[in-house]
Structures are given as structure tokens and as C-alpha cells.
Structure 1
Amino acid sequence: MCVVSPAGEALSSACVVLGVVAAPGRPVQMAQRALADGLQSVLEQRLPGAKWRIEVEQDRLVAAPASDADIVAAARRMLLRRGWDVVVCLTDLPLHTRARRPVLAHASPMHQVAVVCVPALGARRGDRARHLMAQLVEQLLGVDPNLPRSGAGSAPDVSQRVRELGTDVGEQPYAFTARVLTGNIRLLLGMVRANQPWRLTLRLSRALAAAAAAGVFALVTSDIWRLADTFGAVRLAGATVGSLTAVVATLIIGAELWERAPQRRNREQVALFNIATTATVVIGVATFYAVLLVLAGVAAACLVVPRGFSDAVGHPVHVSDYAELAWLTCSLATLGGALGAGLETDDVVRDAAYAQQNSTATGDTDLQ
């Protein structure tokens, strides 16, 4: 049976399951109060496109002392175990940013997990707690609640994301990943955009240092000049593909960023996570490569003297020769970045790969 929206469009029987995990005491009381005050109606109004079902679970998830990452990981495991689509965790443990500043809530769109620090709510009750939980669910779907619902992020776009989240692509064994990708394209785009992939490598200090060292070495080595002159476009393109693949594989495999489905019913949820993770890392590494290419071109023009360059390659040099040198230098620097990425701890790589949205105690949103 189809449900017809106020605009007249037929909606499928898609259903999004929100799991609310609350610690005993005040957190579970707040969860029950938000449910009684109409949290489901608020979600269906602000995030149309599917029916919403809310399941409340009393569980502390982790014992103190525990980090924010521990809470998110435990909530993610429960999400997969219970078959939920998104989860909001109400905890009585303190939450902090990476700079150790206290915050009211975390939202991790990649993990589809939001965590609320109940003590930071102070005396807030009812509508404010309900509004905060609805806002966090919007952030998990990659929707900016501060933007007007027109143009990008408009109601039809939001409805499509919700519908994708609440619709099962089916269990056909053939081309399952392709079906997940095409059936959840707007949801995936929202997750990746909220994850800020262009900032990924900026958070990896060892990778940046190794890339800089490799780039400087390449620019001052005459053997590299001769290789750049003789490689040709095909080999240079192959070096690009190889260096990018090395960094992507190092980050994903080395830090174990991919998930495995604990049950068959979790396949779509896990596939969404893995596709979004791969897209985040690929976009981040490609952005890193593009920036390195520009810097290598500027450095080659400033540091490599034309006469010395010409003597090394055995013919007069032109702009194309400098471009080839910058291209090879960039690929070698990226390989150096792969080595540096391998030295990063798993926690550092995960923090870099999965951007987190933090809400301050005053209710403002700070993107980290």
C-alpha cells in the first residue's frame, strides 16, 4: 500500500528505523519523554519521504572512562546488531572535541550515529531535547538544518534521501554493490559531503611530512630529471594511478576502515558505509595529489635552473619538460605520503577519514 504525500506524490512503504540507546537514569527518562512528546511526528514532518519507527533501548554501551570514539563504535555495533538505520545515543558520560573542549553532542554521518551528552543539556526538557535529537538525525542524513528548504537541500531532495535510507535494495546476489550505489545516490552524496573528504590528508601530519621530503628529494636529483624526460605521458599516468592506489590502499587496509556485515540483513548498511568510506578516501587523496601537483610545478620553476636541467637531459628544456618533472615529482611525493600514512596510528586515520559534527552546549554547530 502506498502513502500519498500532501504534495500528491506517491510514497513507497519505506520505513526508517531510529534506534535511541539511553543510559539508565535520566538519559532513558529523557528518551521516553521525547518519544511521548511526539519525536516521531517531528521527524516525519522535518524529514518526509518514509515512515519513521523509533525503538528505545536502555543500555550504557560503554563503561567509564571511555572516549567519544568508543561510544560511537559501540553504538554502531548495536545499530548493526539490531538492524537500525540510524541511532541516537543518550549518554551520561562527558563528550569532548579533539581539542578537549566540552560539547553537547556529536554526529557522525559516516557511522549514522549521534551521541548526546545528557548532563550538558542542563535543565532543558521536552521540546528542546526533542528538537536536538531531530536536528542530529538531519545531520546524520547530510542535511544542513540551518539552510532554508529551497534549492539544494530542498524538501524533495531531503525526501529522496530519507526514502533511500528506508528502502531495501533487495537481496539479489548479482551486482549488489551497484544496486546499493544507484539506489542510495543522494544519501551517499550527503554522507560524503558531510564527511569533508577534501580535508582528509590535512589531518595526517606524517603523511604530509613524508610527501614533502619525497618531493624535495625528487626536485634536487638529476636522475629524476632524466626519468621525467624519458618516461612519456603513458608511464607518467601509470605512476599517477599507482601512487594514488598506494595511498588509498594504505589508508583503507592499514587502518581497517572497511566494515564486514555481521549478518546478511546488514549487507546494505555495511555496503553504504564502505562505499562512502572509499569515496571519501579517493576524493581526499585526489585533492591531495592536485595540490601537490601545483606545488611541485611552482617549486620546479623556482628551484630547477634551466641550464642545469638542460645539461642533465641533453637538450634545451621547455615548459613541457618542467610539467613532466612536476608530474613525476608529484607522483613520487604521493608515494612518500603513502609511506607516511602507514606510520599513522589507526585512531588518527579514522579521525581524519570520518569528520564529525559537534554541537556546543549553547546549541551551535561546529564542524570539526
Structure 2
Amino acid sequence: MTTDEAPSGVDQEHGEPRVVLGVVAAPGPAIELARRHLGDPAFATGLGTRLAGAEWEVDLVEDRLVTPPAGDGEIVAAAREMMLARGWDVVLDVTDLPLHERRRPVLAHASPLHGVAVISIPALGPRGRGRRLNEIAAELVARLLGDDPDDPTELTHRVRELGTDTEPGASAFTARVLTGNLRLITGMVRANQPWRLTLRLSRALAAAAAAGVFALITSDIWRMADTFGAVRSSLATVGSIVAIAATLVIGADLWERAPQRRMREQVAMFNIATIATVLIGVGAFYLALFGLAVLAAAFLVVPAGFAEALGHPVGIGDYLELAWLTCSLATVGGALGAGLEDDDTVREAAYARHSDAG
């Protein structure tokens, strides 16, 4: 079934929840294949059987989305932009461009956080393309909704919730998003592998390393660490983590705004998961820097010179305090480096995608 605009919500005729899958296909073989198989009412019926809880509707649009050459991240971003503009619940892009994961060709990508899946027509092979397209498309949609083989009732609940257009009061909105979707948001964050975030940001790492080395060889920093105390050091930790997280989110424009009132919950979930991903990633980065700072302090800071600068004998506690402050300063330096990262690089680092080999 295809429509010009098919916002999800409660079906006015039958009073049932309705979920709209947007399918965007490139001109040529991609749109022809999508019309023949994904545009067939039987495909929507099959989704309703597999993903029970709501009536499924397919809105098929012909659009290339991006101009080749384009990276996978650009395709996902363009597909999500169209999804929000048209009020779809999830979107599947059928592209004639090749997809890659670490320079290896793959058949499909799925990003549950974005609600976007992409299938590469060239990777379907020469035979049985329609059957493979139907099977893979259904599998990707289930994955976008957080399919859990151990708890199928959770998926049914998610489908029903996604297909019900409700407008809670402003004061209860955020609480509803958090409590009603906590498990899904947790899964979205885990799928993003936030602990790997900053390992993909070379400029942030380089700036953090430079700031850390400078702090360790500066006697003024040694004395500051000795007099800071636990409260100031804790505030420095929080401030440094917030600084680099804010730089990543604001600098790369990771924060979304809902173009329509009814899309608020979907956008709110995206923003919550994004913030959680970035904060956990930066937190992991901070812990790794702390470990490195402890080792560097032990090797680079000579006890005699350290004691002379502080005016008292030094012990393990003094080295840990120095490593703590050094780590906070290095993280602030990482924020400066993060501001120099390319926006696409930050997005690629923040948002992991599941890939299926071709």
C-alpha cells in the first residue's frame, strides 16, 4: 500500500494502532524491485503477522536521497530526515549504491537508534532478489524495533506503542519516554557500543594526550593536585566530561528537534540515547586516561622532585591525586580536539550500525 503521506497513529476507521514503514527507493532497478515486492499489500500483511500489535502500512517513495559518491552515514542521515519530515515510524532505504563496513562490502545496515535500515540492491545477487529483499526487509524492521527472541511480548508492546499516537501533557512527557521505553533505550545505547566512541576520534585523543603530558611535567599542577581535595577534583571530573560531551553533541549537531508534534517521543528517545551514548563513551575515555595517567606519573614524576615541589614526603595517594587532576585536564584538552573533528566523523563514531554480509 502506498500513500502520499501516511502518518502513524490510531486507524480512524478501525480504531487500531497503525505503524507506517517508509520505504525510499532509488530510481531504476531499486524502485522497480521495491514496488513489485515491498509495495505489495502482502508484504504489509506479513509484517503484521510477524510484528503483531498494530496494523502495518507501507509508504513507498522514489528518491535517491544522496548524490554519489556518498558514505553510509550520509545515507542514514538523509533517510532519517525524510522519516521525520513525513511522519513515518521507521524507514527502509533501498539503494543502488554499495554499502561497506570497514571497507568490506555488506548487504544491509540497520541503525535502531535512528530507526533507519538500508539495503543495497547490488549485493542481493542475480537470482531470487525479490524473495531475499522481502526476507531481509522484514528482518531489518524487526531489528529496528528491538526484536528480542527471548521476549517476544516486549516486541509486541513496542509495536503497539509505536502505532498509538498519544499526546501526554508536557510535565509527564519526559517521564513517559524514559519509563515506557527504558528497555528499548538501553538496548539502543548498548548497540551503539559507547565505550568505543572516543577511540574513533583521533584529534580528541591527540589533544588529550598532549594536555596530559603537559600537566604531568608541570610542578604547578603537582601543587594544585596536592591542595585540590576530593570535592574540587570531583567537580573537575564532572566538568571535563560534560565539556567534551557537549562539544561532541553541539559541534556535530547530534541533537534533534521534532518537526511535528507527534514525532516528539521518537525524537526524545533519539536524544536521550544519544546523550547516554556520548556520556558513557566519554566516561570510558576518562577511565582509560586515568589508568594511563597513573602509569605515566609513576614513570615520569621522580619522587624526590615531587616531594620537593609539594614540601612533604609523597606516597601512592599523592600520585593518584596527580593522576586524577591530570586526567581531568587531559579530558578538557580532548574537548578542544573534539571541536576540530569532522562532523561526519563524530556521527560515525557515535552511531554504530548492525551490518549483514552480502
- TM-score strictly above 0.5: yes
SS at match of 1:96: strand
Q: Which residue of 1 aligns with 2:98?
A: 94
Which of residues 110, 117, 120 in structure 1 aligns to 2:120? Answer: 117
For the 8 Å contact 2:146–2:155, the answer to whether it is kept is: no
Q: What are the residue-to-residue correspondences of 1:26-37 with 2, within 5 Å?
A: 26-31=29-34, 32-36=36-40
Asked whether 1:243 is paired with 2:240, we answer yes
Q: Structure 2 CA distance, aligned partners of 1:55 and 1:179?
A: 28
Q: What are the residue-to-residue correspondences of 1:42-61 with 2, within 5 Å?
A: 42-61=46-65
For the 8 Å contact 1:169–1:268, the answer to whether it is kept is: no
Q: CA deviation at 1:169?
A: 4.9
- Taking structure 1 as the reference length, the TM-score comes to 0.86
Bigger drift between 179-188 and 48-57 goes to 48-57
Q: Structure 2 CA distance, aligned partners of 1:300 and 1:163?
A: 55
Q: Which residue of 2 aligns with 1:73?
A: 77
Q: CA deviation at 1:287?
A: 0.9
Asked whether 1:260 is paired with 2:264, we answer no
Q: Which residue of 2 aligns with 1:364?
A: none
Q: CA deviation at 1:51?
A: 3.7
Q: Which residue of 2 aligns with 1:174?
A: 171
Counterpart residue type for residue 227 of structure 1? M
Asked whether 1:108 is paired with 2:111, we answer yes
Asked whether 1:218 is paired with 2:215, we answer yes
Bigger drift between 17-26 and 230-239 goes to 17-26
Bigger drift between 121-130 and 226-235 goes to 121-130
Structure 2 gaps of 5+ residues are: 1-14
Q: CA deviation at 1:259?
A: 1.2
SS at match of 1:174: helix
Deviations 1:24-57 (A, max 9, x none): 3432333231453843344344434444332222
Structure 1 gaps of 5+ residues are: 1-11, 362-368
Which of residues 305, 308, 313 in structure 1 aligns to 2:305? Answer: 308
Q: Structure 2 CA distance, aligned partners of 1:164 and 1:191?
A: 17
Q: Structure 1 CA distance, aligned partners of 2:86 and 2:290?
A: 46
Q: CA deviation at 1:133?
A: 0.7
Q: Structure 1 CA distance, aligned partners of 2:162 and 2:181?
A: 7
Counterpart residue type for residue 129 of structure 2? R
Q: Structure 1 CA distance, aligned partners of 2:291 and 2:344?
A: 30
Counterpart residue type for residue 268 of structure 1? E
Asked whether 1:194 is paired with 2:191, we answer yes
Counterpart residue type for residue 244 of structure 1? I
For the 8 Å contact 2:37–2:43, the answer to whether it is kept is: no
SS at match of 1:316: coil
Asked whether 1:285 is paired with 2:290, we answer no
Q: Which residue of 2 aligns with 1:276?
A: 273
- Taking structure 2 as the reference length, the TM-score comes to 0.88
Q: Structure 2 CA distance, aligned partners of 1:275 and 1:60?
A: 30
Q: CA deviation at 1:276?
A: 1.2
Q: CA deviation at 1:13?
A: 4.8
Counterpart residue type for residue 115 of structure 1? V
SS at match of 2:224: helix
For the 8 Å contact 1:226–1:312, the answer to whether it is kept is: yes
For the 8 Å contact 1:62–1:74, the answer to whether it is kept is: yes
Deviations 1:166-225 (A, max 9, x none): 344524222422322222212211211111111100000011111111111111211111
Q: Structure 1 CA distance, aligned partners of 2:303 and 2:156?
A: 59
Q: Structure 2 CA distance, aligned partners of 1:202 and 1:260?
A: 28
SS at match of 2:118: strand
Asked whether 1:334 is paired with 2:340, we answer no
Counterpart residue type for residue 94 of structure 2? L
For the 8 Å contact 1:16–1:166, the answer to whether it is kept is: yes
For the 8 Å contact 1:211–1:336, the answer to whether it is kept is: yes
Q: Structure 2 CA distance, aligned partners of 1:215 and 1:232?
A: 19
* Total equivalences in the alignment: 342
For the 8 Å contact 1:27–1:90, the answer to whether it is kept is: yes
Asked whether 1:129 is paired with 2:133, we answer yes
Distance 1:280 1:355, change over 3 A: same
Q: CA deviation at 1:72?
A: 1.9
Q: CA deviation at 1:155?
A: 1.8
Counterpart residue type for residue 114 of structure 1? A
Q: CA deviation at 1:19?
A: 1.2
Q: Structure 1 CA distance, aligned partners of 2:186 and 2:54?
A: 19
Bigger drift between 99-108 and 159-168 goes to 159-168
Q: Structure 1 CA distance, aligned partners of 2:80 and 2:332?
A: 33
Percent identity over the alignment is: 65
Counterpart residue type for residue 95 of structure 2? T
Bigger drift between 327-336 and 54-63 goes to 54-63
Q: Which residue of 2 aligns with 1:9?
A: none
Q: Which residue of 1 aligns with 2:152?
A: 155
Q: CA deviation at 1:347?
A: 1.1
Distance 1:45 1:198, change over 3 A: farther
Asked whether 1:18 is paired with 2:21, we answer yes
Which of residues 144, 147, 166 in structure 2 aligns to 1:140? Answer: 144
